[in-house]
Amino acid sequence: MNRTGNTIFITGGGSGIGRGLAEALHKLGNKVIIAGRRRSHLNAVIAANPGMEAVELDITDPASVAQVAQKLIADYPALNVLINNAGIMQMDAVAGKIDDALLTSTISTNLLGPIRMTSALIEHLKSKDNAVVAYTSSVLAFVPLAVTGIYSSTKAAIHSYVLSQRFMLRNTGVRVIEIAPPWVRTELMNSQEAEQAMPLDQFIAEAMAMLGTDADEIVVDAARQFRSNVGPNEHPLVNGFNDQALAIFGAA
């Protein structure tokens, strides 16, 4: 994608990877609008980045998604890049009874939300030059973390959806990009201080460099072993990965 000259909307831009991408793209001179549910987080980001703007969004609420999409089209007619980044991650218990509230909120946030957001903006984006729809998935789309089985399944679903949407938009001017981070030091799973996780600034730097290329998938070096492990030979890596994860997170 072009890294400059854009008007960019980023969901989940109040913290973590969303904030990191927003600030990096803002520094390059793009017009950046961030969204999230926590107004205090949004205010902190825009205060630290003069010229950036923010809008409150409940990505789980179809009415909120529709309202924000209408506002974006009206207030920022040059909008040409959507980055679907909002997400939640909680430990679950796929070997037992699933908490229905956790199930519903995770699927609504991680899967239904980005699909609805893109759907609400896609016709507008088709009319713009250098248009991009990006989705933040995860390496867990390819190698699931068993103690967050629901989260992992939503990211696998997003990967599948990206493949379909990219194909269906192949003859338009809209590029579809998947950003698949490894474990990064963010608020997800309280990972800000996790030594095993990739530093956020390092991930943002590597991801931004790849965003400036023709890559359809943004997979940094630390994530490549997971992306490469697909097909009938995946089970030893999946099982070994989860044996190691249990030592870190414990059993759900």
Residues annotated catalytic, as ranges: 151
Token pair 């205060």 is found at: 47
What pLDDT band is residue 12 in, cutting at 50, 70 and 90?
very high
Report the pLDDT averaged over residues 153-180: 96
Tens digits of per-residue pLDDT, 115-133?
999 999 999 999 999 999 9
Tens digits of per-residue pLDDT, 183-199?
999 988 888 888 889 99
Report the pLDDT averaged over residues 239-249: 84
What superfamily does domain 7-249 belong to in CATH? Answer: NAD(P)-binding Rossmann-like Domain (3.40.50.720)
CA–CA distances in Å: residue 146 to residues 138, 209, 244: 14, 31, 11
Report H helices in the chain.
16-27, 39-48, 62-75, 100-107, 113-126, 149-168, 200-211, 224-227, 235-249
Tens digits of per-residue pLDDT, 13-63?
999 999 999 999 999 999 999 999 999 999 999 999 999 999 999 999 999
What pLDDT band is residue 248 in, cutting at 50, 70 and 90?
confident
| Cα distance between residue 107 and residue 86, in whole Å | 12
What pLDDT band is residue 233 in, cutting at 50, 70 and 90?
confident
